[in-house]
Amino acid sequence: MGKLKYRLGCYLFLLPAIIYICLLLIYPLIYNIELSFRDVSLISYMRGTSKYLGLGNYQKLFRDPIFHRILCNTAIFMVLSIVFQFVLGLLLALLFNRDFPLNNIFQGLILLPWFVPIMVKGNIFRWFFSDMGTINGFLSSLGIISHPIPWITSKSLPIISLSIANIWLGIPFNFILLYTGLKAIPVELYECAQIDGARQWHQTIYITLPLLKPVIVTTLMLGSIFTIKVFDLVWIITKGGPGNISHLFSTYSYALAMEQFKFGMGAAVAIVMVLIVTAITIGFHCIKVDY
């Protein structure tokens, strides 16, 4: 009887979390999946007369040239963001793992992008990349360009510009995780390596990186998930434009559902994004890591 009460008490403590997950995670996901199989417009949604299409929305989606562009955009955006965020974050973590004057102050400056509201950051980058913005003005003053570069108004550059902005925003996240992982490595290992005559780059390759592997895998996994679902930054700077050139999954799903009132198509885009995120997560979990 005592064990039963104990288990019941444990379940009661878990009840708020279970209710939260069911109401705000599981139910919306199930409803979104069901919505993606229907032809739902604003009128049919209000009347409750949406037609069941089966895989019709997905077939239409994969024939959509805009969706093909989104797949390409997402690949470019993710690769550029993840690679540069991680490499720069790792280099900064290795640098600040040493003791030097004003170390803590410079660390605070690196974390500054975290403290700035996303609306401010997005508008700053939109101003930087505008035709009369800071970057074009700087290049023009050096005589490098004679005409403004259309960073966010051309057919090919917007996704590169968005990647640059996202790299700047993601460096603090990578830095703090990798820096924390470095601090967990015993100093004695480096002291022994120095006694044996190991150089700095030998220590990095044979001590730091192998022991940092669990943190590296976690950082890359979380960074991939956070990058693929970026919405606010893209929406503030380009809104997926010009002409749907710079859409990602999140912005295209929002545009279909909230601007064109194609709720079924918007839900289908969101489900594809969820499947990709799930595949990425499973892929990282398959990597063998010795904790």
Domain contains 53: yes
Domain contains 33: no
- The domain spanning residue 144 has which CATH number? 1.10.3720.10
Residue 36's SS3 state is helix
CA distance 157 to 154: 6
Instruction: Give just the sign of the alpha carbon dihedral 272, 274, 276, 279.
Output: negative
Domain contains 63: yes
Helix 27-36 vs helix 263-285: angle between axes, to the nearest 10 degrees? 120
Domain contains 18: no
DSSP symbols for 184-250: TS-HHHHHHHHHTT--HHHHIIIIIHHHHHHHHHHHHHHHHHHHHT--HHHHHHTTT-STTTT--HH
Whole domain around residue 84: which residue ranges? 41-285
Domain contains 20: no
Domain contains 29: no
Domain contains 191: yes
pLDDT tens across the length of the chain (291 residues): 567 777 777 778 888 888 888 888 889 889 999 999 988 887 887 777 788 888 899 999 999 999 999 999 999 999 999 999 999 999 999 888 887 787 788 888 888 888 888 889 899 999 999 888 888 888 888 888 888 889 998 888 999 999 999 999 999 999 999 999 988 888 888 878 888 777 878 888 888 888 899 999 999 999 999 999 899 999 999 998 888 899 999 999 999 999 888 999 999 999 999 999 999 999 988 876 654
Domain contains 13: no
Question: What's this model's pTM, rounded to 2 decimal places?
Answer: 0.88
Domains held by the chain: number: 1
